[in-house]
Every structure is written in C-alpha cells, then in structure tokens.
Amino acid sequence: MQDIKQQLIGDLKSATTAEQVEQLRVNYLGRKGIITTLAKNTDFSKFSPEEKKEFGQKLNELKNFATEQIGAAVEQSRSLGEKSSKREIDLTAPGAGHRLGSLHPITMTQMELEDIFQGMGFSVLYGPEVESEYFCFEALNIPPDHPARDMQDTFWLKNHLILRTHTSANQVRTLKRFGAPVRAIFPGRCFRYEAVDPSHENTFYQCEGLMVDKNISVANLIAVMKTILSEVFRKEVKVRLRPGFFPFVEPGFELDLQCLLCGGKGCPTCGDGWIELIPCGLVHPEVLRHGGIDPHEYSGFAFGIGLTRLAMMKYGIHDIRHLNSGDLRFNEQFAPML
C-alpha cells in the first residue's frame, strides 16, 4: 500500500490535463483500478482478526487519500482550463481593426475625368482591349507600311487581332455606331512593346476624347482642354499648342501645360516652363469618312490624354513601375482620409 501511495503521488505530479487526471482516477479507483483490485485479490482467510482490521483501516486510508488527491487534481485542471479559455475571449484586448481597401491612383484619376467630362455632356464609352488592325491603324490613316506603326509596335495574337496601342481605336467605332453629332470619351488600358523603365510601361492608360458636330474648330478644342485641366488641377491653367503629327488629325498639335510647379519660369521638372501633356487635333476627313460621316457637313476634334501620366503628375509618382506592381503598400498611400 505504501508503494501504491508513492506511485500515485508521482503520477499526480505528471498529470496536468483534465483527461490525464480522469485517467488516473480510473487507474486507481475504477472498477478494475489498482486499489479496488488490491482489496478484491487479498485472501483474508489467512489473516487474524487483528490483521484483518488493520488491513481494512489501511486500505480505507489509502482509498480516502487517493479520492481526495485525485479530486483536488480534477478541480485544479478544471480551473486551469477555464482560465485558458477565458484568455481566448479577452474583451479588454485591442481590436484587430478593419483593413479598408483603397482605389488605385489611376482609377481615381479616371473617375474624376469621367465626372468632369460627363458634366460637359460627354458620354463615357469603353472599347475592347483586343482590337482589329482596322480600327487601331487602318481607319486612322495608318496603312501597313506607315512608320507610325513602328512607334506603336504591339502584341499580336494568333488570330491576327492585336492588343490596342491607343484608345484612338475607338474613334471610328464610335462614329460608326452613333454617327454625328457625338461627344464621348474612351478611357482605358493600352499596350505597347516597350522596354520598361521609370517612365515607360508596356501597359498604360489613356483617355481619348472625340467631339464631332457642325462648325467645330481649334477654338473649341482649346476651350474644352483648358476647362478640363483647370478642373483636374483645381486652378486656372495656361496651355499652348505646338504643331504635332498624327496621321488621323489635321491639323495636329501637342498641347502643353504651363508648369504648375514653377509657374512657367522653368524648373528641373519641366525644363522650359511647359509640360507636354495632350496630343490632339482636328479629326482627319478620311477618319470621318471611315466612320460614315460627311466631312463637308461635320468637323470635330480628338485628343489623347495620357491617363497614366496625368495620375503620376497629380499624385507625385516618380516611377511608372509602381502603378502595375500590385504592391498594396504603394496603393494604400492614396486612400482618402476617412
């Protein structure tokens, strides 16, 4: 009995979980437990009455000892278990917080442009990113052997379709579909075979615009561009036109914005005080004809805002590669304050 007691004390020390303690109870006090079988297996016939009495007393002591100790261990393991499960729902712990998503700077710039143009009566249309050669080049006066195709080399698909190199591909689509008069912008993703560096990407965004009506002139083009840019930059801006060549406009221009950083005096960002921003011009008569519009009756202007470039200027982003990086740390910086 002394041995059993010592063994039990040792076992109790190593039993920590409620399950282990319960197993001890079964091992010692259960129907087939060590203490129970000890009483059953003892041959009392050999004992004198005194010995029987003493054995009975000792056995009872051992049983009581075991019952008490195991009972205490059960209590202890229960309260330990309660404590640890309480810890899991500690109501005083600081919250995990919600991660708020944020719009991409290009998306924000695009949405802003869409709002401004819609306020001026322009529709917003989205053409396909996978285009035909016809809409991307031929309908825009760029025949297969034209050098302008070299500057807009792109990704050719096996079925002779291409990834569009500019949103101008939507000009003739729109004219064919809606006829004249028409006023629309086409923001979207474009693709070119470019070596990627801080200012070049193979995937970028433009926002094309087209307005065709009777008596549309360069004066209308300038007025619309000035209004748009003043809205985007939230102040009155100065613009200038330089001649520029694009096969699908005549005359064609580069519209420059007077630098907003130095006010036109000249600085490291702009050089001479002007930033080249929007290629544009009056729609070439041949393009109108492709769209089924009579160039003697109607005229119009088209422009191609570099949406990626505009977003970079607006948000002060110096490396174009951040935009397609998928790095949330970059994106989260532009989340509006709540």
Of the candidates 141, 298, 302, the residue with the CA atom closest to the CA atom of residue 210: 302
> How many residues at the interface with ligand PHE, by CB under 6 A?
10
Q: Cβ of residue 172: shortest distance to ligand PHE, in angstroms?
A: 12
The whole-angstrom separation of Cα 290 and Cα 143 is 13
The whole-angstrom separation of Cα 253 and Cα 242 is 5
Pairing of strands 299-306, 274-283: antiparallel
Site for ligand PHE in 199-258 (CB under 6 A): 246, 249
Pairing of strands 182-191, 162-163: unpaired
Please choose, out of 6-14, 57-65, 119-127, 297-305, the segment that lies near ligand PHE by the rule CB under 6 A. 297-305
Q: Cβ of residue 302: shortest distance to ligand PHE, in angstroms?
A: 4
Nearer to ligand PHE, 21 or 307 (CB): 307
The whole-angstrom separation of Cα 211 and Cα 183 is 4
Please choose, out of 35-43, 99-107, 197-205, 300-308, the segment that lies near ligand PHE by the rule CB under 6 A. 300-308
Please choose, out of 66-74, 110-118, 130-138, 275-283, the segment that lies near ligand PHE by the rule CB under 6 A. 275-283
Q: Cβ of residue 300: shortest distance to ligand PHE, in angstroms?
A: 11
The one among 281, 291, 300, 308 contacting ligand PHE by CB under 6 A: 281
Nearer to ligand PHE, 20 or 203 (CB): 203
Q: Cβ of residue 164: shortest distance to ligand PHE, in angstroms?
A: 10
Question: Both ends of the chain: CA-CA distance in Å?
Answer: 74
What is the rounded (10 degree) CA torsion for 107, 116, 211, 218? Answer: -110
Q: Which residue is nearest to ligand PHE (CB)?
A: 304
User: Phi, psi at residue 15, to the nearest 5°?
Assistant: -90, 115
Q: Cβ of residue 263: shortest distance to ligand PHE, in angstroms?
A: 27
Q: Cβ of residue 121: shortest distance to ligand PHE, in angstroms?
A: 19
- Token pair belonging to 288: 């109108």
Site for ligand PHE in 159-188 (CB under 6 A): 166, 168
Q: Are 158 and 218 in contact (CB under 8 A)?
A: no
Please choose, out of 61-69, 120-128, 274-282, 318-326, the segment that lies near ligand PHE by the rule CB under 6 A. 274-282
280 near ligand PHE, judged by CB under 6 A: yes
The whole-angstrom separation of Cα 133 and Cα 137 is 6
The one among 201, 212, 303, 309 contacting ligand PHE by CB under 6 A: 303
Q: Cβ of residue 104: shortest distance to ligand PHE, in angstroms?
A: 21
> Is 269 buried (19+), middle (13-18) or exposed (0-12) by CB count in 10 A?
exposed
The whole-angstrom separation of Cα 279 and Cα 246 is 9
Please choose, out of 38-46, 98-106, 156-164, 299-307, the segment that lies near ligand PHE by the rule CB under 6 A. 299-307
Please choose, out of 42-50, 93-101, 276-284, 325-333, the segment that lies near ligand PHE by the rule CB under 6 A. 276-284
Q: Cβ of residue 258: shortest distance to ligand PHE, in angstroms?
A: 20
Nearer to ligand PHE, 69 or 173 (CB): 173
202-206's contacts with Cβ under 8 Å and 24+ in sequence apart are 203/324, 204/306, 204/307, 204/308, 204/320, 205/106, 205/110, 205/306, 205/307, 205/308, 205/311, 206/166, 206/167, 206/304, 206/305, 206/306, 206/307, 206/308
- Residue 243: partners with Cβ closer than 8 Å, 6 or more residues away: 251, 252, 253, 254
Q: Cβ of residue 246: shortest distance to ligand PHE, in angstroms?
A: 4
Question: Most distant CA pair in the chain: distance in Å?
Answer: 136
The one among 105, 188, 291, 304 contacting ligand PHE by CB under 6 A: 304
Q: Which residues are near ligand PHE by CB under 6 A?
A: 166, 168, 246, 249, 279-281, 302-304
